[in-house]
Structure 1
Amino acid sequence: MRSIFPRLRERLPLVAALGALLLLVSCTRVGLVYRNLDVLIPWSVNEYLSMTTEQEQTFKTRLQEHLAWHCKTQLPAYLEWLNEINREVETGQVTEANLRARLEEAKGAIEEIAKEITPSTVQLLRKLTDAQVQELYDSLDKDMRQRREKLRDEWDDRLEERTERMEKRLGNWLGRLSPAQRQRVSEWALSLGDQNGLWLDNRARWQAEFRDALAHRQADDFPARIARLLQRREELWNEQYRQTFARNEQAAIRLLVDVMALADDKQRTRLLNRLDGMHTDFASLACLNGGG
């Protein structure tokens, strides 16, 4: 299940996959995926940039270090996070207050990852050649063109896609949604309005700041600029986007509360089984039990 909340980070393409560590809680076979991140992440990176042999070796070495850090220092907290969600589902305490608390905990975990990977990001970016930087710029341009192109689709089509995407995410956890639950999802999708352009404008601002920083990657303030982009992206938001982001978060929380209030016993059992399975997958990882 992907995060149903609005995007919590504008991630740097070169190291974007490191942020996927946090999203592992949404994978069906989290243990299997986690054990193979060192293989999966380089494939993601290569979509944006061709690295030299030396750069690849440096990246893989630092990646192994980050994965070890994450497993040994962060996953124990994730296990407790899953336990809290499990208890709230079991006791019927899926409330706005509790979901807000879980969301803030997830944000805190993302912030820890951003801090952890910042030095590696700075090191990698500083060693890029001008040709590699241009390749990265081209990848960003292509991504933005594709996203802008989707904005040309009819609003009704984009609304339908948003609704179907959320139904699928919820269905992965709960099973087939009831008519009442599907109606609530439709209401949620409509309530967000046509905001994709606003989100893309914010993304463009982030990319413009990143490009300027990268153009001066040997400057003394480069590490601080990358730290800001990775760790404090809210500083680049304008007031309209800030308000929209907060409103969307709250709308997502209310949606979850309402969908769970409409859930039947079969759906709750499925959800609890999924949570238990994720907990088991995490808890069985060798790095949590003295292994490598």
Structure 2
Amino acid sequence: MARQWPLLISLLILSLLLGACSRVGLAYRNLDVIIPWTLNDYLDMNSEQKSWFNQRLQQHLSWHCSTQLPGYLDWLDRLQLMVQSNQVSDQDLQARTREAKQAIAETVRQITPSAVELLRGLDDGQVKEMNNAFAKDQQEHREQYLTPSLAQQIQQRSQRMSKRLNAWLGPLTPSQQQRIEQWSASLGEQNQQWIANRVHWQTQFSAAVAQRRDSDFPQRIEQLLINRESLWTDDYRQAYAHTEQAARSLLVDLMAASSVDQRQHLLKKIDGVRKDFAALKCLQNASQG
């Protein structure tokens, strides 16, 4: 999944909450190594900034592991129960999505002050570098997602989804594959709306950072990070609602057509994620404290 937010906020959120596609425990234990390297995609920190960042990162990771991960385990339990009972409904998926968004929002609120402090300390050269990185990011996304014809975009979207679902469900049946193709086609020019909104957000972010010495800078960053939906374009707001509903409908249909083997495969994957989280030393220490 492409990064949508820059700097500290995006790296923490996406690494912590979207890393479940691989070995969660391994990724989580190495975030203090992974994040500074990835941060260089947008910003080359000086030694003082790196030292401050590493110290603050450790504090955030400790907070997240001890206070947030127990809730993730409960969330995985609820997800697992849905699959075990073969009762995956739109209503249940809405509830799980709402809970996931709340978890993300809690982490965003916690680390936004650090993002404000880091951004406020940037010099003009670093801001220019960040803006250049945004421009490069936008160009790469246009080339990857908008240069292909609409038919190719739909096909590539279908292929990406099939790859993800193969990892979680195992081999898909022809009818399931056909349903994914229908889902992809229904999204139409969603790539255009998504990237236009991405550029819109990055432009507002750059404008805020350009005035990082102003007294209202923390409030502007809070809106960009915590209340980012308030800044979406109208087209993307409509497209997002449709995209979210279409994704739930797809999952409901795929699970309704799933085999026992596919559900067992999915349960095993979920259990693997749960075990990775539960095995983290920080979580074990928190439960013993």
For residues 3-22 of structure 1, the C-alpha deviation after alignment (integer angstroms, 9 at most, x for no partner) is xxxx8x94124542111244
What displacement does 1:184 show? Answer: 0.4
Larger RCO, structure (CA 8 Å, separation 6 or more):
1
Of residues 213, 221, 224 in structure 1, which corresponds to 2:219?
224
Which aligned pairs between 1:243-262 and structure 2 lie closer than 5 A? 243-262=238-257
What displacement does 1:200 show? Answer: 1.7
SS of 1:11's equivalent?
Answer: coil
Which residue of the partner structure matches residue 101 of structure 1?
A: 95
2:141 is the counterpart of 1:147: yes
For residues 214-270 of structure 1, the C-alpha deviation after alignment (integer angstroms, 9 at most, x for no partner) is 111011000000000000011112332211111110000000010011110111111
Of residues 199, 204, 207 in structure 2, which corresponds to 1:209?
204
Q: One-letter code of the match for 1:218? A: R
Q: One-letter code of the match for 1:115? A: R
Of residues 53, 63, 68 in structure 2, which corresponds to 1:69?
63
2:277 is the counterpart of 1:282: yes
Query: Structure 2: which 5+ runs fail to align?
Result: none
Which residue of the partner structure matches residue 159 of structure 1?
A: 154
Query: Structure 1: which 5+ runs fail to align?
Result: none
Q: Take 1:162 and 1:129, find their aligned partners in 2: how far apart are those partners?
A: 39
What displacement does 1:286 show? Answer: 0.8
Q: Take 1:231 and 1:10, find their aligned partners in 2: how far apart are those partners?
A: 13
2:24 is the counterpart of 1:30: yes
Which residue of the partner structure matches residue 77 of structure 2?
A: 83
SS of 2:86's equivalent?
Answer: coil
SS of 1:217's equivalent?
Answer: coil
Which residue of the partner structure matches residue 267 of structure 1?
A: 262
Report the aligned-residue RMSD.
Answer: 1.6
Q: Take 1:104 and 1:279, find their aligned partners in 2: how far apart are those partners?
A: 20
The answer (yes or no) to whether the contact 1:15–1:121 under 8 Å persists in 2 is yes
Tell me the number of residue pairs that the alignment of Structure 1 and Structure 2 aligns: 286
2:122 is the counterpart of 1:128: yes
Q: One-letter code of the match for 1:274? A: K
Answer with 254-263 or 151-160: which moved more: 151-160
For residues 121-166 of structure 1, the C-alpha deviation after alignment (integer angstroms, 9 at most, x for no partner) is 0110111110000000000011111222331222222111101000
Q: Take 1:198 and 1:89, find their aligned partners in 2: how far apart are those partners?
A: 33
What displacement does 1:118 show? Answer: 0.6
Q: Take 2:42 and 2:232, find their aligned partners in 1: how far apart are those partners?
A: 25
Of residues 184, 193, 198 in structure 1, which corresponds to 2:188?
193
Percent of aligned pairs sharing the same letter: 49
Q: Take 1:42 and 1:15, find their aligned partners in 2: how far apart are those partners?
A: 12
Q: One-letter code of the match for 1:246? A: A
